[in-house]
Amino acid sequence: MNVKNRFLKYVKIHSTSDDKSTTVPTTKRQLEFANILYKELEDLGLSDIRITKEGYVYGVLPATKGYEDKKTIGFISHMDTAPDASGENVNPQVIENYDGNDINLPNGLVISKQLFSHLEALKGRTIITTDGTTLLGADDKAGIAEILSACAFIIENDIPHCKICVGFTPDEEVGAGADYFDVKNFGCDYAYTIDGGQEGELEYESFNAASAKVTIKGFSVHTGSAKDTMINAGNVAIEFMNMLPRFEVPEHTKGYEGFFHLDEIKGTVSEAYLEILIRDHDKNLFNGRKETIKHITNMLNEKYGENTVVLELKDYYYNMGEIIENCFEVVEIAKQAMENLNIKPLIAPIRGGTDGARLSFMGLPCPNIGTGGFAAHGPYEHISVEGMEATRDIIVEIIKLYSK
């Protein structure tokens, strides 16, 4: 099965995670996908295949005889799709020999060149889109298809190789993809996540990430007698947000610039709630952002009364560059693999989350390689077959380099 057909099969499998669920994994449907992948690993002839009760799938392609002394390398992708948009009843549209113009989706949405300037560079390729009613699932079913297609290529062409480990994780999109990852028994020296971004992307620096959950208790009285008595929790929530730097938000930042992101807001006069994402590549600036949130909380409590504002701060992951800089060959080999294939390495910091960030701090240095996808988490998501094939070839080339 080629990478295109694998991908088209996987996107039709509903495997969306649920950020409100308390189960592990957060949805049973991810286990159903895990069982499908288990069977495919069996069919490919991998060994040591297992599914954990938490929904992780592992498999091993043993080293060719005489190559047992080479480093063990791993490749990881996640099975879930983001709960931001529907991942059920995905109906992919295949556009062959794409003309480089706006793409009209069946439901009337348009993937326009004005919004997506990279479209011109995809001219002549085979493009896969949604029908406009769901996300596509290239994040990260493209990664799974590319890893398994690379393994198939190695096996079918009898290419001598080091030991190769593969791992497929649940719940990455809700920040829990590495929670139960068995780094010790995965048994790799290094690994790569294959997740998101155009072909040639190579990312080894990530955000430091935290969230601030802010609960505001108001004091509700009749509006006719509210003067000097009412505390409107909704207005205090607005005041809280207005005390943050106005332009340090995702829509006004890029590259290494950090931000505060209002991810959720709800409330009434009596109670309001904010969830604010805190991100920065620089550890000192990251800590400074958390101190800003604490300072605003204290100021508002001084103004409105103790415990009017209750803050819960939680760190999620840290910049994996701190770990990877100590074993930089893992980046250099991926870069060399791309150059060997005449693919320009696109090295940039990750402006998002990845399992690799947490896995790096768990003892498995794990940069990320792009899948060839664009516009994830919504109905404009699309990918090219050629992009997936390029990433498959990068994986194969990395294996060859580690096997030398």
pLDDT, position 197:
87
Task: Give the distance, in angstroms, between the CA of residue 342 and the centroid of all CA atoms in the same chain.
Answer: 26
pLDDT band at 1 (very low <50, low <70, confident <90, very high): confident
Last residue of a domain, one of 284, 301, 317: 317
Which of 139, 171, 172, 195 is flagged as catalytic? 172
Same-domain check for residues 397 and 288 = no
The CATH number for 185's domain is: 3.40.630.10
The whole domain housing 125 covers 3-206+319-403
Which of 40, 54, 80, 146 is flagged as catalytic? 80
Please state, in angstroms and rounded to a whole number, the distance separating the CA atoms of residues 203 and 200. 10
Chain segment 74-97, per-residue pLDDT in tens: 999 999 999 999 999 999 999 999
Q: End-to-end CA distance of the chain: give it in Å, rounded.
A: 28
Same-domain check for residues 265 and 331 = no
Last residue of a domain, one of 299, 317, 335: 317
The CATH number for 281's domain is: 3.30.70.360
Same-domain check for residues 273 and 191 = no
Please state, in angstroms and rounded to a whole number, the distance separating the CA atoms of residues 392 and 379. 25
pLDDT at 70 over 80: yes
Same-domain check for residues 190 and 268 = no
Please state, in angstroms and rounded to a whole number, the distance separating the CA atoms of residues 299 and 7. 52
Same-domain check for residues 46 and 132 = yes
Mean pLDDT of the chain: 96
Q: What percent of the chain has pLDDT over 70?
A: 100
pLDDT at 134 over 90: yes
Chain segment 286-307, per-residue pLDDT in tens: 999 999 999 999 999 999 999 9
Same-domain check for residues 156 and 47 = yes
pLDDT at 353 over 80: no
Please state, in angstroms and rounded to a whole number, the distance separating the CA atoms of residues 4 and 10. 10
Last residue of a domain, one of 317, 352, 368: 317
Please state, in angstroms and rounded to a whole number, the distance separating the CA atoms of residues 106 and 154. 38
Active-site residue flag, 172: yes
Structure tokens at 350: 């990750």
pLDDT at 191 over 80: yes
Same-domain check for residues 221 and 196 = no
Same-domain check for residues 48 and 129 = yes
Same-domain check for residues 17 and 142 = yes
pTM of the entire predicted model = 0.90
The pairing of strands 346-347 and 201-203 is parallel
pLDDT at 3 over 90: yes
pLDDT, position 59:
98
Considering its fold, how many domains does the chain have in total?
2
Please state, in angstroms and rounded to a whole number, the distance separating the CA atoms of residues 190 and 213. 35
Cβ burial of 238 (10 Å; 0-12, 13-18, 19+) is middle
Are residues 311 and 305 in contact, defined by beta-carbon separation less than 8 angstroms?
Answer: no
